[in-house]
Structures are given as structure tokens and as C-alpha cells.
Structure 1
């Protein structure tokens, strides 16, 4: 029943797109998903942030990028190839301001190769950025990762860290399972899969955590710059 209704709506919306009736196109989408399609509400308590130890500010994060780290960033985003790119203006690091071209993105949707093609949840968006903006973002990410690896993350965290991954957690879980069997002790595990986890991250809380972890204000400002996106329909 729901699939049939979604199919009819998808055909209706596709018709608007084919006829370039953008007003009706977005009106139909809004009628289905409402105002919360990309605005997943989230909240974080200061009680979860306040206990974090205040780390000394790492002013090295504010330095202009060196040639080696720029080359590394180019290689990381281009699979070893080094195409020419736009220069990164010095004011980015002097004032913490990022050019608008670096923040503009074109979003295209890709089918996840599973499930009903008519359901939006079975598609994911890919943001296409200016190549110079991607290089800058990679430099910032490399610096942040290097800073966090200075004893700021718990040993139990394997996600979103270099040289660690799911296999490490599987190994740890197997070790716990075997030890509990050996000691004849109960073992309880919980699996949590968050829907749209990235969209529900509380940004204000994230900036506070970065400040706690010793990130300079200008560095945080470059990370938090507002971006603009446009959607490309195929």
C-alpha cells in the first residue's frame, strides 16, 4: 500500500521535473517530507561536555599549510595523481575566512544498489566541491586527526581513526566472548544503528568539544563555515 502510494508520488514528482515545473516539484517534495527532511533535531547536555579536561591550545593548527602537507592532501583526494588546483588564499589562515567558491557544493544522488528505487531512503547524496576547497578540507582533517591522536581519544574508539577499524572491534569482541566462556560469566552486547547519524550531530556541541580539545578559534571557524548547496537532477 505504502509502496504504491510512493510510486504514484514519485511519478508525479518526476513529471514536474521533466516539465521543468520547479515550483510544483519542490512543493510536492515538501508535502511528502515536510520541513524536517534535512533538519533532524538534536540536543546535547552541557553536563556531557563539562567533565572533559581542557587541553592546552595547539596553535600549530593555525599555521599556513606547508608544501609537504599540501602535496599529501592532493594525493589523498586524487588517488596518487596531482592535478593542478587553485591557490589557497593567505587570508584563509590569517582571518579564518573561507572563499564562497570553496563552500559551494553540487549535490547529486546515487542509488544504493539495494531496495526499492522509488524510496528516497535507498538513495544517498554526494556533494561535489571545488577541488581547492577539497584540498583545504583534507589539510584541516589531517591536522585535526593528528592532533586528536595525541592521547585525546580513548583506546576503545576504533571508528574514524587511522589504522583502526571494524576488524579491531570484532577481535576485541571475540576475545571478550572467549574469556567470558572460559570464566563462565554472562556477556551482554548491544548494537546501535543510528538513522542519519551525520545529520543529527549537534553542531554547537561539536564546536564546544573542539574548544575543549585545544583547537584554536580560527581553526574551528574554518571548520564551521556555512556552506551552500544546489541539487542537480539527472
Structure 2
């Protein structure tokens, strides 16, 4: 009986290795025509994820009150303790974004890294300007292991963003959670 289990495991492993999903060589367009040229494939992925992520969303412009003072800053500076706490909760071993700086770098730098990050985050808070590099991300299509491998709809898009930006988001999110209450309704 045990011999048969190993045979099935081996067959399953061979079948899995046979599938080439690490690099999609061809993909189908909206009309189910197979695209083989690399530039056509990139255009298809771009249009698919653009429609997926932006479908039904409208850009809204908020009109500022002209009588409101613009330079008033009611937020307190970010403290090293906040950065340290957020950094502690960040997971290691995750794929890097476009800047290729993993969270492990900031953890290894210790107090020097905490001080530098705190100064950076306070500068961003005061200037109200996020670094342009943080606006970029790398989108990686991951096959869901079901359906047609050439169909874009059978892929999940994973955005690889800067880990430093994720740390910044976590600090701001912690501040917001402390200041607000969310009802069950």
C-alpha cells in the first residue's frame, strides 16, 4: 500500500513540474486570440489590470475652502517609538518593491535606522509630499491554479511596493485607529 502512495506523489510532482507558469509565453486577448509577441502581451496585461483595478472608479477633486488656512499643522511629529513598534510588526522575507530595499535592512540598522526613518517620516509629514519613487510598484500576475492558463482572468495581481512606504502606511494607520472608533454597523 505504501508503494502506491509514493507512486502517486511522484506522478503528482512530475505533473506539477511539467506546468510552465513561472513565465507566460502567450496569453489570450479579449477576443480569445492568442498573443505571442512580448509587446502585445504587455499591452494586454496593462489593459487587463487597468480595467480590473480602476473599473467604476471616478477621480474626485475636493474643492478646498478658500477661507481655510493652508499652513496650519495640527499633527504632532512621529516619534521613534511609533516607528520601532511598526517596524517590529513588519514581516520579513517578503518580495521587494521597485526600490529593492527589504524590511530586513531597517531591522538590521537598529537605532541608527530608526532615527533616520523617523526624520524621513517627519519630513514627509511636514512637507505633505510623498517621494515619487513610492508611487511606483511592480505588478506580478500569479496564476490561481484553475482554469485556462492563457486567460488573464485566471490570475491574481500582486503589487510589490516599497517596504519603507508600507512602514509609513502602518504608522499613519496606527495613528488613525487610535483617533477613530468604528461601529459594528
Give the TM-score of the pair, scaled to structure 2: 0.52
Q: 2:174 pairs with 134, 137, 142, which one?
A: 142
State whether residues 111 and 117 of structure 1, in contact with CA within 8 Å, keep that contact through their aligned partners in structure 2: yes
- Where do residues 1-234 of structure 1 align in structure 2 (5 Å cutoff)? 9=29, 12-13=34-35, 15-17=36-38, 22=39, 24-27=40-43, 36-42=51-57, 59=74, 62-78=75-91, 82-84=107-109, 87=117, 88-149=120-181, 153-156=182-185
2-structure distance, mates of 1:40, 1:101: 25
Quote how far apart the aligned CAs of 1:93 are: 1.0
* Higher relative contact order structure (alpha carbons within 8 Å, sequence separation ≥ 6): 1
Aligned residues: 125
Give the TM-score of the pair, scaled to structure 1: 0.43
1-structure distance, mates of 2:49, 2:142: 22
Instruction: Show structure 2 runs of 5+ residues with no match.
Output: 1-25, 59-72, 93-102
Quote how far apart the aligned CAs of 1:103 are: 2.3
SS at match of 1:77: coil
Quote how far apart the aligned CAs of 1:154 are: 1.6
Q: CA RMSD in A?
A: 3.6
Alignment CA distance shift 1:36-1:108 (3 Å): closer
Quote how far apart the aligned CAs of 1:92 are: 0.6
State whether residues 103 and 133 of structure 1, in contact with CA within 8 Å, keep that contact through their aligned partners in structure 2: no
1-structure distance, mates of 2:51, 2:180: 33
Instruction: Give CA-to-partner distance per residue, 1:74-116, whole Å, 9 cap, x none.
Output: 1222259734467325331112111112222111121233443
SS at match of 2:129: coil
2-structure distance, mates of 1:34, 1:114: 19
Residue aligning to 1:166: none
Instruction: Show structure 1 runs of 5+ residues with no match.
Output: 1-5, 44-57, 157-234
